Structure 1
Amino acid sequence: MLTRVNQKNGDQLSILGFGCMRFPVKGSNIDVPRAIAMIRDSIEKGVNYFDTAYFYHNGKSESLLGEALSGGYRERVKIATKLPPFLVKKLENGKKIFATQLEKLQTNYIDYYLLHMLTDKPMFDRMVNLGVMEWLEDLKKEGTIKNIGFSFHGSKADFEAIVQAYPWDFCQIQYNYMDENNQATKSGLQLAASLGIPVIVMEPLRGGRLVNSLPEKVLKTFKSYDKERSPAEWALRWVWNHPEVNVVLSGMSTEEQVEDNIRIASYAKADSFTEEELFVFDKVKSVMQELTKVPCTGCGYCMPCPAGVNIPGCFSSYNEKFLLGSKLAWWKYMQTLGAMSEKPANASQCMECGKCESHCPQHIPIRKELKAVRKEMEGIFYKPIVGIGRKILKIK
């Protein structure tokens, strides 16, 4: 297992991190014996970074991980878990959640603690105003938290604002060869690295869609170079090829996935791709662009939108639905642009002012395309569901 050094604290982190949101299941519950065996086996083979969260597996992921790490395993690994900002209406809420997490994880400290799924700068500002960051700093001083970070799902502009607004110990972004120009983007990755902030990457396989839902033409492009290398190996190595990345998380559901990912992580060094391999990805991206509904590169020149629309985010979810046949694209759209963002950023917010179009280097008729997004992604149930979600989460 290869490791990379956390440039802020010197931790030697396995380049493969175990994402604890896709454990094997039996019916609707975690298959506990299998999951524990997989976790312990991965530790024996060098994995030392485990990422969980308050909500994963209906709130059972942290407890499972805590059980798996009992008996001497806890001291051999780094635990990352997360505080959900949308549940923190006052500081006391956060303190109760954190106490519960320590109990579930059977530990008295958290190595890497994140604000979970920040989608925009106002969400972070609210945490500051509630005193959450000051509280986390106190926990860090006493050693209960070792590192303070955040995970992100939003626009490039919001990522840049958040990552520069606080002296973060680390950050976590969605990054893969499909998302090089989406969300935090490659420039966001490079910005974080330039600030000395370690980067943890999630969704390197887009929840498996870069393995199971690729167009046939893409599969043929990969096989034309190497018939034996799997789409998963191509995708993981693409992320690890970036020297700015410290750890790549993989939500592993089977023993075979653990074995294969550890094999790949034993030799996937940064800057190790040949020119021929990089050219394969150029061809893959070209195929993807041919099949993409809206030719948005995620450059962000259209932003900020006066009406608050996350234009690149809208197009990203819309394209994903058609390109990868993703049934989760609608959920992602509703979650990150409507239900959980501090301010709605979905296509319906568009006032058709046209300001964005004058800045678009791709000359996309943005107003027209946002109407298409709204029609496809915001059916009759969209607003009621988002409204209920925001009411339950008490987001105004």
Structure 2
Amino acid sequence: MRYFDIGGVEVSRLGFGCMRFPVIDDDNGKINKEESEKLLLDAIKRGLNYIDTAYPYHEETSEDFVGEFLQKHNLRDKVQLATKLPCWLVEKEEDFERLLNIQLEKLQTDHIDFYLLHSLDIKRFRKIMDLGVLDFCKKIKEKGIVKHIGFSFHDEYKAFEEIFNAYDWDFCQIQLNYLDIDYQAGMKGYELATKNNVPVIIMEPLKGGRLSNPPEEIKDMSKKFEPLSYSQVALKFPLSLPNVMTVLSGMNSFKQVEENCDMADKVDYNSLTDEEKEFYKVSRQVYKNREQIGCTACEYCMPCTVEINIPKVFSLWNKAFLYDEEEKSKSDYEKYLKDGVSPEECIECGKCEDICPQHLEIIKGLKDAHEFLK
């Protein structure tokens, strides 16, 4: 495993994202603790030391599980623990400390190594700015409750620039993969952080797993990189960027842990060949020509007010075009409607669109997806 030095702290180039653990009975709020423990232990054995969780993950059970895991295996002092302030729950100044204390209790620790303002867009940032979030950040860092302060970002580049310049951040977290170089903060955001010597954490390196199963045109092009898997080819892109502290992956199988740790061990900075750069460029065009909606299945929109499985519907819609699976997607959609809630039941409350990190037009998307898949 290769490591990144941030202020004398060694952070593994691969981080374990704790939002996609194996679950029981397809219930995202019921983490399969036995299997998830094994995955985390395997990753740590391979040199991974960055554990990333957050307040809402797995329907607010991820922090509890991570805290239990670290205590059970006496690993708290052997890992770099990251979690995030749920900024959308902050209504008054006192909420900052209240929420942090809840998280410390759930994680069974007296300090957090990397603490992020979670899922910032400009509207949310300005609201918490008015409530004194930067004074709060300074205070908890001075007290040693938090070692490093950063933010995770989901908005346009202009908003990233404003947030980035508002504080002396220790690091920042952005969505970046070989497909999304011009999306949200994108490469411009990465370059701004690099210019100012602020380390970057990458999320969605596989775009919610979709880059692990690309369209046939991309699979054919990927053969030149064998024996690398499609996931490894995708991971090589962010791992090669010299100012990337760690690349987060929500791993839920031993194969994913093995493949991803292997890449984090082998890939050096600035290591892309001209052939690989051309591959990423051509692949971007293939995807852009096929994608229907940019859902990453992060499940921030869940639970839906009327219990529509929004990520499921969008996944089936996209798969029909991305992977040439129209008939299979329609068949799977028919099965979904037997037990699940149809998009026709949407009451257009807008709750999902307010919290969506990708700022998708979910209401319209549900109508279009249903019209195609029904």
8 Å contact kept, 1:19–1:52 = yes
- Classify 1:125/1:341 alpha carbon distance in 2 versus 1 (closer, same or farther; 3 Å): farther
State the one-letter code of the partner of 1:174. Q
Task: Provide, for residues 9-41 of structure 1, a one-character-per-residue CA deviation record: whole Å limited to 9, x for no partner.
Answer: 232110000000011112221111121122122
State the one-letter code of the partner of 1:60. T
The correspondence of residues 78-117 of structure 1 with structure 2, limited to 5 A, is 78-117=80-119
8 Å contact kept, 1:36–1:64 = no
Distance in 2 between the 1:378 and 1:160 partners? 34
State the one-letter code of the partner of 2:56. F
Distance in 1 between the 2:207 and 2:369 partners? 27
Structure 1 match to 2:353: 338
Task: Provide, for residues 22-79 of structure 1, a one-character-per-residue CA deviation record: whole Å limited to 9, x for no partner.
Answer: 1111222111112112212222221111110001011111111111111431101111
8 Å contact kept, 2:116–2:152 = yes
Q: State whether structure 2 residue 3 is matched by structure 1 residue 22.
A: no
8 Å contact kept, 2:112–2:146 = yes
8 Å contact kept, 1:40–1:68 = no
The correspondence of residues 282-293 of structure 1 with structure 2, limited to 5 A, is 282-291=281-290
So what's the TM-score if we normalise by structure 1? 0.74
> How far is 1:90 from its partner?
0.7
State the one-letter code of the partner of 1:99. N
Structure 2 match to 1:267: 266
- Classify 1:375/1:30 alpha carbon distance in 2 versus 1 (closer, same or farther; 3 Å): closer
8 Å contact kept, 1:209–1:324 = no
Distance in 1 between the 2:156 and 2:351 partners? 10
8 Å contact kept, 2:17–2:249 = yes
State the one-letter code of the partner of 1:217. E
RMSD: 3.1
8 Å contact kept, 2:22–2:32 = yes
Residue identity (%): 40
Distance in 2 between the 1:130 and 1:379 partners? 39
Distance in 2 between the 1:324 and 1:170 partners? 34
Structure 2 match to 1:4: 4
Q: State whether structure 2 residue 256 is matched by structure 1 residue 257.
A: yes
State the one-letter code of the partner of 1:255. F
Task: Provide, for residues 370-391 of structure 1, a one-character-per-residue CA deviation record: whole Å limited to 9, x for no partner.
Answer: xxx985467799xxxxxxxxxx
Where 1:266 maps in the other structure, the secondary structure is helix
Where 1:270 maps in the other structure, the secondary structure is coil
> How far is 1:131 from its partner?
1.7
State the one-letter code of the partner of 2:81. I
For structure 1, the 5+ residue unaligned runs are: 295-316, 348-372, 382-396
Where 1:46 maps in the other structure, the secondary structure is coil
So what's the TM-score if we normalise by structure 2? 0.79
Structure 2 match to 1:352: none
Residue correspondences, number: 323
Distance in 1 between the 2:292 and 2:54 partners? 34
Where 2:235 maps in the other structure, the secondary structure is helix
State the one-letter code of the partner of 1:207. G
Structure 2 match to 1:281: 280
Distance in 1 between the 2:179 and 2:350 partners? 20
> How far is 1:337 from its partner?
8.9
Where 2:16 maps in the other structure, the secondary structure is strand
For structure 2, the 5+ residue unaligned runs are: 294-314, 324-328, 334-342
Structure 2 match to 1:179: 180
Distance in 2 between the 1:374 and 1:58 partners? 22
The correspondence of residues 354-373 of structure 1 with structure 2, limited to 5 A, is none
Distance in 1 between the 2:190 and 2:367 partners? 31
Deviation larger for 180-189 or 63-72 = 63-72
- Classify 1:145/1:337 alpha carbon distance in 2 versus 1 (closer, same or farther; 3 Å): same
Task: Provide, for residues 227-265 of structure 1, a one-character-per-residue CA deviation record: whole Å limited to 9, x for no partner.
Answer: 432110011001111112110000001122112211111
- Classify 1:287/1:346 alpha carbon distance in 2 versus 1 (closer, same or farther; 3 Å): closer
> How far is 1:283 from its partner?
2.6
The correspondence of residues 39-54 of structure 1 with structure 2, limited to 5 A, is 39-54=40-55
State the one-letter code of the partner of 2:74. G
Deviation larger for 183-192 or 32-41 = 32-41
State the one-letter code of the partner of 2:78. R
Structure 1 match to 2:225: 226
Task: Provide, for residues 281-315 of structure 1, a one-character-per-residue CA deviation record: whole Å limited to 9, x for no partner.
Answer: 23323433444679xxxxxxxxxxxxxxxxxxxxx
State the one-letter code of the partner of 1:201. I
Structure 2 match to 1:188: 189
Where 1:229 maps in the other structure, the secondary structure is coil
Where 1:114 maps in the other structure, the secondary structure is strand
8 Å contact kept, 2:96–2:136 = no
State the one-letter code of the partner of 1:237. K
Structure 2 match to 1:157: 158
- Classify 1:227/1:172 alpha carbon distance in 2 versus 1 (closer, same or farther; 3 Å): same
Where 2:139 maps in the other structure, the secondary structure is helix
State the one-letter code of the partner of 2:135. E
Distance in 1 between the 2:147 and 2:131 partners? 21
- Classify 1:339/1:275 alpha carbon distance in 2 versus 1 (closer, same or farther; 3 Å): same
Distance in 2 between the 1:163 and 1:55 partners? 24
